[in-house]
Amino acid sequence: MPELQKPPAASDPAAVKADERTALAQTAQKELDELRASIAEFRRKAETANQQSQAKLNEEIEILEAELRDLQAKLTELKSATRESWNQLNTSFDQALKTLKVRIADFRQKS
């Protein structure tokens, strides 16, 4: 999955242009949609597992879904952030996104 592209450095690092913010938010939403699809795929696979495996898989999937919901909330907050808070929120969002991607990749290998 592609990493979020950072905007080019502006003369004022805190001033990210609105069109760049919109583009980053759209890219981030696409990534979240892809992660959501991966989790849905895991959910379908869990439905065909034996009972013991299914319970464990569902527990892990619920954790991934909770992290995805948190990321969606962060993206919503990022979309409405002020110029001053945008960079900090974007950094936090990027870190959480990378963490979820790693967790999903790990889950995919284990299942």
Give the pLDDT mean for 67-91. Answer: 93
* Tokens (6 digits) for 15: 């001033």
Summarised one tens digit per residue, pLDDT across range 9-46 is 444 544 568 888 889 999 999 999 999 999 999 999 99
- SS3 at position 1: coil
* Crossing angle between the packed helical segments 51-79 and 18-47, to the nearest 10 degrees: 170
78 touches 16 (CB < 8 A): no
The predicted model scores a pTM of: 0.80
17 touches 7 (CB < 8 A): yes
pLDDT score, position 1:
47
Summarised one tens digit per residue, pLDDT across range 81-105 is 988 899 899 999 999 999 999 999 9
Summarised one tens digit per residue, pLDDT across range 36-63 is 999 999 999 999 999 889 999 999 999 9
- SS3 at position 8: coil
pLDDT score, position 11:
47
